[in-house]
Amino acid sequence: MAGVGWRRALLIGACGLLAIGKVHFVHAQTVTSWPQFRNSHTLTGVAGSSLPTTLRLQWTYEAGSAIESSAAVVDGVAYVGTAGGALVAIDAASGKLKWSYRATSDDLGIGESSPAVANGVVYIGDLAGVFHAVDAATGKARWTYKTGAEIKSSPVVAGNTVLIGSYDGHLYGLNAATGAFLWKAGTDNYVHSTPAIWNGVAYFGGCDEVFHGVRISDGTKVLAMATQAYTAASPAIAAGVAYYGTFANEVVAVDIAAKRVKWRFLDPDRQFPFYSSAALSVSGSGGTMVLGGRDKNVRAIDMATGKQRWSFTTRARVESSPAIAGTRVIVGSSDGKLYVLDLGSGKKLWEFDAAAPFTASPAVAGGRVIIGDGDGRLYAFGQ
């Protein structure tokens, strides 16, 4: 537990820094995967899979060390990294270990970097700065690539290119099949956030107070927009607008084509940084943005106007990034609870008390919610 807090403190300084219940879900389209951090290339955190009307604990897997990494789920297998340096593959139906891959031999382990799964390969970065490509079926290494510093960003696979950010200040583009270097785009500080992809461009905020756009095909910078705020959260993009929270205690909406801030949200009474990445429920010309804050609140913000719709208060920081499944929001808190809230009102529908912090984010796939906690337990909730 102390190690988890220590690693988070490093980021802050560097950037300026068992109650089981029932819940009802609206069934969405049947999609059985959550292949990367925030599920899609646009990082909207919206599930394409349905969940049962009754949500119960199905199984618990003891990973042996803290889990800050958020799970990916593909073909009935959940993949997640641990602070002990292991990438594990868990059968999503039974909770049984399929294989374990040792990412690092030292005590740095895997932090917040979350797996991406594509074409039979699992990609993940570690705190030693090594980026790994692992065979999804066997757990054997395909290739590795060493960056210049720790990796907390999560990979995104775009065609034949896999993207990864590093604390050496660069976003890398590598050949997804071979690991061959293609390009790197430099920033003036750590690249912590995961890039969101829109129209062939990777967009991400940085600890250099700049919102970046990098063309995936050749690594050319197409956007470098000063935002006056350190950013650890990853952007979520809808209709050409990027939404994210900052360490300046604001939530911003950036119109990508216009290269301008569309709106800023600042709570007049509770000004704390935003570390959680947003989930977006799009409807018509707007929708609802949901994210957690270090002021202990989960907030819903109108995507068109930047006005707060509701807030829900937990007992500790909310650094977990919410997932949206139908009309429900699933999010963890450092108070040790996993919550399900009504998307329209913010009313609490259900909670699970793990007695250990949830800083990882939930994955929703195959009729289950899968998430790890700070005591090293991976949970699955479903029918």
More confident residue, 362 or 108: 362
Q: Confidence class of residue 250 from pLDDT cuts 50, 70 and 90?
A: very high
What's phi and psi for 146, nearest 5 deg? -95, 120
Q: What distance lies between CA 14 and its chain's CA centroid?
A: 20
- 312 CB-near residues (< 8 Å, 6+ apart): 297, 298, 299, 339, 341, 346, 347, 348
**Residue entry with tokens 């929001």:** 329
Q: What is the 3-state secondary structure (H, E, C) of 51-71?
A: CCCCCEEEEEEECCCCCCCCC
Query: Is the pLDDT score of 20 beyond 60?
Result: no
Q: What is the mean pLDDT of the chain?
A: 92
pTM: 0.92
What local confidence, expressed as pLDDT, does residue 380 receive? 98
What's the whole-number mean pLDDT along residues 105-124?
A: 94
Whole-number percent of the chain with pLDDT over 90: 86
Reduced to 3 states, what is the DSSP secondary structure of residue 6?
helix
What's phi and psi for 279, nearest 5 deg? -110, 145
Instruction: State both tokens at 159.
Output: 């065609």
Query: Is the pLDDT score of 3 beyond 50?
Result: no
Element (H, E) at 289: strand 286-292
Query: Is the pLDDT score of 332 beyond 50?
Result: yes
Query: Is the pLDDT score of 302 beyond 50?
Result: yes
Domain count, the chain: 1
The string of pLDDT tens digits covering residues 194-243 is 999 999 999 999 899 999 999 999 999 999 999 889 999 999 999 999 99
CATH number at residue 15: 2.130.10.10
Q: Confidence class of residue 31 from pLDDT cuts 50, 70 and 90?
A: low
- 258 CB-near residues (< 8 Å, 6+ apart): none
In the chain, what is the straight-line distance between the N-terminal and C-terminal CA atoms, in Å?
31
Q: Confidence class of residue 32 from pLDDT cuts 50, 70 and 90?
A: confident
Question: How many CB atoms are closer than 10 A to CB 284?
Answer: 7
What's the whole-number mean pLDDT along residues 52-74?
A: 95
What's the whole-number mean pLDDT along residues 23-36?
A: 58
**CA gap 315, 114 in Å, rounded:** 26
Residue 238 Cα distances to 97, 146, 169, 242, 277, angstroms: 37, 33, 26, 7, 14
More confident residue, 367 or 20: 367
User: What does the DSSP 8-state code read for residue 34?
Assistant: B
Whole-number percent of the chain with pLDDT over 70: 91
The string of pLDDT tens digits covering residues 346-355 is 999 999 999 9
Reduced to 3 states, what is the DSSP secondary structure of residue 292?
strand
What's the whole-number mean pLDDT along residues 141-145?
A: 98
What local confidence, expressed as pLDDT, does residue 14 receive? 41
Answer for the pair 133, 179: CB distance below 8 angstroms, yes or no: yes
Query: Is the pLDDT score of 84 beyond 70?
Result: yes
What's the whole-number mean pLDDT along residues 62-69?
A: 97
Residue numbers of the domain that contains 61? 2-382
What are 92-99's contacts with CB under 8 Å, separation 24+? 92/365, 92/366, 92/368, 92/370, 92/380, 94/59, 95/58, 95/59, 95/60, 95/61, 95/378, 95/380, 97/61, 98/139, 99/138, 99/139
11-25, 92-106, 134-148, 281-295: lowest mean pLDDT where? 11-25
Could you tell me where the beta strands, DSSP code E, fall in 103-248?
Answer: 116-118, 121-125, 130-135, 141-146, 156-158, 161-165, 170-175, 181-186, 196-198, 201-205, 210-215, 221-226, 236-238, 241-245
Query: Is the pLDDT score of 184 beyond 70?
Result: yes
Q: Confidence class of residue 18 from pLDDT cuts 50, 70 and 90?
A: very low
